[in-house]
Chain A
Amino acid sequence: MTVVVKTFARLADAAAALSTERGARFLAGGTLVMRAVNEADPAIRTIVRSTDPSLLRIVISSGRVELGAGVTMAAILAERELAFLHPVARAVGGPAVREAATVGGNLFAPSPYGDFAAALLALDATVMLAGGFGQRELPLEEFLARRERGVSVVSGVAFQRPATEAFRFAKVTRVHPKGASVLSIAAQLPLASGRVAGARIAFGAMNRTPVRAKAAERALEGRSLDAAAIAPALAVAADGTEPADDAIASAWWRRETLPVHLRRLLLGTGLA
């Protein structure tokens, strides 16, 4: 099937084209969209892409991190200042996928993919959208809730850099070193006087989109990270999740094993 490819030097022009063309899809790294094009997905009639250099920006300033939507996992791995995100970027496919897969694309990855988006959710990231109306920002959680209803072009994400040692990530997979997630867990666990203050926990592959573990976050508040203190959080870990049955794992298995892997992550007793 032949589709029309439209390339724009300015992201704003690409966003305008995307909003006016029927059957248009924005192409980032290609790992999702090109796959659909190869399968002759009739919903894709036009590929919209942009060579806007702002898509590749990595700005780290005063504790704030801003990543252009076109920043690849390989580019993150090459940036020493983003070392806390290296385990997440390394969990996305093999080297060839990491050279293509982008931050923006990962926000659209269907479950069980989208581990990077789960990490961004735990980092309380905001999503920057480009459109004819100009730039606007949305909390990532809100963006994920809306993404299947159609949103504009993502120009980047931004978040506060977590305190050293406060950010943790684990990906559970049946195929090593590369495989799709049984589930993934990202957590930001700031400590004040040895107790959790303002925890953010997000799960990948536990819902249609990455999802915050709000019940577990509440149960951890003011607690220390020891086995007895985290028990209430583990008991409610699966609250609000609706995992799928797929070729990687059953929904039952995902729910049953989630507290086990969350426990390991919180106690720092080894990767899942």
Chain B
Amino acid sequence: MKTPIQFHLNGEEVAAFADGGANLLDVLREAVGDLSVKGGCWQGTCGTCTVLIDGRPRLSCVTLAEGCAGTSIETAAGLRRGADLHPLQTAFMERFAAQCGYCTPGMLMAAKALLDRNPRPTRENVLDAICGNICRCTGYEPIIAAILDLAGASGRRRA
């Protein structure tokens, strides 16, 4: 039996039908068509499916889709504005923080969750923010550098 659910996705209202017990990841990809969200483990282990629900990072693969009715969901697809990349995406590009790219959507959203709440994080803050996201290419340092770079740049812009 399918259940209708409505939520906001990257600022736009969307409606979809979810199979009973469907996880949010599958609904976003298969019912809504947002392929920016990646599925890696479907066990809540790898972090590549990270999205923001009402501003908080969540693993969409272990999140019941039905439970997301009425929420506001952000995915990597909503980061860019037209032709302009989000500053996080630019920082990742400039620091070569993506190689195969599979972890990147989850890394971006985990980093956004951090910077939205703490615009001037320490390295320790960054390590904690991405500790649930597995990357098997970069060795993490370029990702950490990209996030810290952006935080530093944001600080300079505010100053």
Count of B interface residues, CB-CB < 8 Å: 31
A100 within 8 A of B: yes
Chain B residues with Cβ below 8 Å from A100 are 44, 58-59, 62-63
Q: Are A47 and B63 in contact (CB under 8 A)?
A: no
B105 within 8 A of A: no
B144 to chain A, nearest CB (A): 12
A162 within 8 A of B: no
Chain A residues with Cβ below 8 Å from B101 are none
- Which of B27-35, B81-89, B129-137 lies at the binding interface? B129-137
Give the contacts of A1-36 with B (CB-CB under 8 A).
Answer: 1-5, 7, 27, 30-31, 34-35
B48 to chain A, nearest CB (A): 11
Q: Are A96 and B21 in contact (CB under 8 A)?
A: no
Contact residue range for chain A? 20 to 34
Q: Are B132 and A97 in contact (CB under 8 A)?
A: yes
B23 within 8 A of A: yes
Q: Are A34 and B23 in contact (CB under 8 A)?
A: yes
What is the bound-complex CA distance between A35 and B59, given in angstroms?
A: 11
Q: Mark A60-83, 1 if CB is under 8 A from B, else 0.
A: 000000000000001000000000
Chain A residues with Cβ below 8 Å from B59 are 31, 96-97, 100
Q: Are B61 and A99 in contact (CB under 8 A)?
A: no
Which of A3, A31, A93, A95 counts the most B-chain CB atoms under 10 A from its CB?
A95
B159 within 8 A of A: no
A38 within 8 A of B: yes
Chain B residues with Cβ below 8 Å from A5 are 3, 20-21, 64, 66
A178 within 8 A of B: yes
A contact face: mostly helix, strand, loop, or mixed: mixed
Q: Mark A170-200, 1 if CB is under 8 A from B, else 0.
A: 0000000110000000000000000000000
Q: Are A30 and B128 in contact (CB under 8 A)?
A: no
Q: Mark B1-15, 1 if CB is under 8 A from A, else 0.
A: 101000000000000
Q: Are A47 and B128 in contact (CB under 8 A)?
A: no
Q: Are A38 and B67 in contact (CB under 8 A)?
A: no
Ranked nearest first, the 8 interchain pairs of A and B with the lowest CB-CB distance are: A94-B132, A3-B21, A34-B62, A178-B131, A96-B57, A38-B42, A2-B20, A94-B131
Name 26 interchain pairs, CB-CB below 8 A, sorted by A: A2-B20, A4-B1, A5-B20, A5-B21, A27-B64, A27-B67, A30-B67, A34-B64, A38-B62, A39-B42, A44-B21, A47-B20, A47-B64, A49-B67, A94-B128, A95-B113, A95-B132, A96-B47, A96-B50, A96-B57, A97-B44, A97-B59, A97-B132, A100-B58, A177-B127, A178-B131
Measuring CB to CB, which residues of chain B are less than 8 angstroms from any residue of chain A?
A: 1, 3, 19-21, 23, 42-44, 47, 50, 56-59, 61-64, 66-67, 110, 113-114, 127-133
Measuring CB to CB, which residues of chain A are less than 8 angstroms from any residue of chain B?
A: 1-5, 7, 27, 30-31, 34-35, 37-39, 44, 47, 49, 74, 90, 93-97, 99-100, 177-178
